[in-house]
Structure 1
């Protein structure tokens, strides 16, 4: 039997006391599990009516278990035990946390950087590739699939024996995949991507990799009656109220591992919360902290501690607004989905659309069709780093990376945040991920980090649709070796350059400053890291 607990102190506790009784009175929880699409108002009703099947996935996904188990056994008998997942956003983040928690090896390919893709094209004799795309038209995933098809063919391996496609029924990808004889598993089309952890998108790659997906569903099912209850003890109502019911709104959520057995949960929750709530000029910005040390919080932040089941921790010294959340992974996946739906109601937005994700895609397509993502001349060059201050004359003549970072941080407002967006290889530059914590300490404001283009399907929605108070650092580089996309007229290097350029353009269209730092060789990463972490007088 699984268990969930949500406890709070300070402003978060006050928010629970203020908001939960009204949610109980209007039967929010039971109506949610009855799939009542009217809960978020008339404007959201059309979208919500097609996006609420996730509430019953703990039961409705059961038929997948036997199919996945049989597929895994067949592949293992053939000596195929390396699982690569090609997917973006909701198609990759849930399997990543499920497999990391289970200790099941899974290669997650959620990048269009040619060096990253090439590094995954190895050990083909023991590799099965899961291609996951809800719409079937995600360019990153399509490009990755094409590269694997070519690699398998070149290795005299039949791609139809090694590629498994997960998509919505009726998508272009389903038709193409069935025509090629690939294994195809269709997911519930009435579930949005970031709520799809317990659909085929989460279960197929996780099950093939060896995670116990039946236990995952059992854990979620064991708390369903708790989460659909119109009761003030409902942990989904409590967490949603703590997240979005503070007054004034504390719209930054600092997520920290505080002893939880769940590995990497913050990255999954970040996408769910940021993409669901960051729109119409409002939203909640999750800030995933890399280290659990005590720290003072800004006045507009709530600390969310992910704790171990059965263990209680005293509130931190600065308990201005703190929430402790504990539970098994399957239970927490459903808990946070419910809480995010509650947060949408309290914020007055539709938590099931992502209107600003497409804008960056459109800008990237336009760049591909015109300049191919060519960069303007740099404002300055410092060693192995080209510096460009985009969005107005705010660099102030800065000639070093450090001075440029200072100039950008000088544009931070008391309610603002810093976002570092690295269109690089996470395997080559893993140390950069630690910079967000250091930059946050230095600036005194929330700082986030995202690998591009992965974050475009996550916090990218918040950057454009949420409060327009962010300042942005974009880091790009020159790939060691570019990689042509079979059957297309572009390379992955051209594509990721256009994605970075398109993302920057949309931020500029929203009036936000972007500091573009382009690495001309690998030594530039150390320069950038030093400049971002350095406290200057």
Structure 2
């Protein structure tokens, strides 16, 4: 099936539910009611819906946001050599997706600080040291613990290292970060919209200002998003509306337990995949149902995939897509359902942002799920704060002492379940390559899908899905670079929060019936990732 911007293959076995869903959307006037911000679509009142659906207006507002961003940048007069974006989850994922796809001003170095691991903090510190850096501190709530900790640390080192560094904030009105920005003489504070949630905020200052500072032409992104909104609004019938057709297919997948939505992305679109992963997991991963976004999984042998897979291929059109084209064509020939999305040009990402937000809103209505809250994310936050407020409490992580346990656990898991790899690591190239090898073994040898979350960032992304949606059969926590900072007081607070987060996650998983294995892979530990690869 072909639909303007997307081609669907091998969806015949989903056709009955797919057609039913399109009819439901039509009979219940879902599209019309969505534009009217009718909260009953998701079982919430109209006031709450109105406070959650401000993103519907962002395509029109984004052009002015882009112009304001451009004007602000013109006043900087190339004063800064580096731009450092600090934040978590939806406050930064959209900006990173734009910068990685569209590219950046080669005269500027763009870096993201989204980890409180001591090794990650040290790496950011080295990058910005002795350079004129513009720091963007981004937090919708204005009180994100990790973001504020990173800010306080960077402020301390930059005040003494280079007084020409400068800070700007992106936050909602009347937040702690806004007040802190005023007290600490930030160069400027850009305000978000209170009726736009973090994961829906990419077309606001949260996504467009950092991208503009990195040299991206954000006005073009605004234009393509508005073009998509216009197209969707004119397509009043669900069977001719791109967002409705995708949502109807995905809802049919949920009903048929074809629930492993596997992303295949061109290299430049990897970060777009992570943005969409959060949007899907945090919006729909509730009520013990939903879809599992499987992102950046290495290619498996075709017969290693179970019938619970549906693939979506986001293709940028670069010449380096050839191997991916071949793999996707093999999947199509093997009769797996595949959605093939060609990005018309780089700035088409603006249209895709709005399209997928609409898809998720409609999917929530079909599944009777509120896609605008994240109730289970708070569980870890509450637990971590309780631990940090009681520093005398000893946290003893129960590290694995026999890697054969993992092999045994994996061999007992049903092929239609999945494994969550949760890695509290700096995320260097070699580490990520080894994690890819681990996922390939899990896929090809044990016929299991695997997800990969890099801590602590995943807590603000897929954390909701693990606790509230379709839960993993087993979780494997991989912890690196904790012991290396035992004697360094500058990093003790970061080590403390990392340990509190891992401890809290394992305890919460245990209460939900999710088994976990925790492995210390730091330099001073008994094992490393190579040992795990060799064992399983």
CA drift of 1:370 comes to 3.5
The total of aligned residue pairs comes to 505
* Whole-angstrom CA distance in 1 between matches of 2:130 and 2:27: 57
1:81 pairs with 2:87: no
Partner Cα distance (2:222, 2:301) in 1:
34
Matched, 1:285 2:259: no
RMSD in angstroms over aligned alpha carbons?
2.7
Q: Does 1:471 align with 2:487?
A: no
CA shift for structure 1 position 493: 0.9
- Is 1:442 equivalent to 2:445 in the alignment? yes
TM-score normalised by L of structure 1: 0.87
**Conserved? CA contact 1:251–1:284, under 8 Å:** yes
Shift of 1:268: 1.1
After superposition, residues 72-471 of structure 1 pair within 5 angstroms as 72-78=73-79, 80-104=80-104, 105-121=109-125, 122-157=128-163, 162-182=166-186, 183-228=188-233, 229-231=235-237, 232-246=239-253, 247-257=255-265, 262-291=269-298, 295-296=302-303, 297-308=305-316, 316-327=332-343, 328-370=348-390, 374-376=394-396, 378=398, 386-387=399-400, 400-401=402-403, 403-427=404-428, 429-434=431-436, 435-471=438-474
**Secondary structure of the corresponding residue to residue 280 of structure 2:** helix
1:495 paired residue number? 497
Most deviating of 343-352 and 141-150? 343-352
Instruction: Determine which structure has the larger helix proportion and give its number.
Output: 2
State the Cα deviation string for residues 360-406 of structure 1 (Å, max 9, x = none).
Answer: 1111222223466744375xxxxxxx41xxxxxxxxxxx531x1212
Q: Secondary structure at the match of 2:258?
A: coil
Structure 1 residues 161-220: Cα deviation after superposition (integer angstroms, max 9, x where no partner): x11100001112112212322110001111111111111111111111111111111111
Distance 1:106 1:27, change over 3 A: farther
Seen in structure 2, the aligned counterparts of structure 1 residues 301 and 293 have a Cα distance that, compared at 3 Å, is closer
Residue 81 of structure 1 deviates from its aligned partner by 3.0
Distance 1:24 1:294, change over 3 A: farther
Could you state the TM-score of these two structures normalised by the residue count of structure 2? Answer: 0.87
Deviations 1:401-429 (A, max 9, x none): 1x121232245235421000011111272
- Structure 2 CA distance for partners of 1:377 and 1:530, relative to 1, 3 Å: closer
Tell me, in whole angstroms, the C-alpha distance in 2 between the residues paired with 1:309 and 1:241.
27
Q: How far, CA to CA, are the matches of 2:317 and 2:232 in structure 1?
A: 17
Within 1, Cα distance between the matches of 2:232 and 2:489?
A: 48
Unaligned runs of 5+ in 2: none
Deviation of 1:519 after TM superposition, in Å, equals 2.6
Change in CA separation of 1:497 and 1:210 when aligned onto 2, cut-off 3 Å: same
Contact preservation (8 Å) 2:285, 2:465 = yes
Displacement after TM superposition at 1:158 (Å): 5.2
d(CA) in 2 for partners of 1:158, 1:308: 39
C-alpha separation between the residues in 2 aligned to 1:377 and 1:275? 27
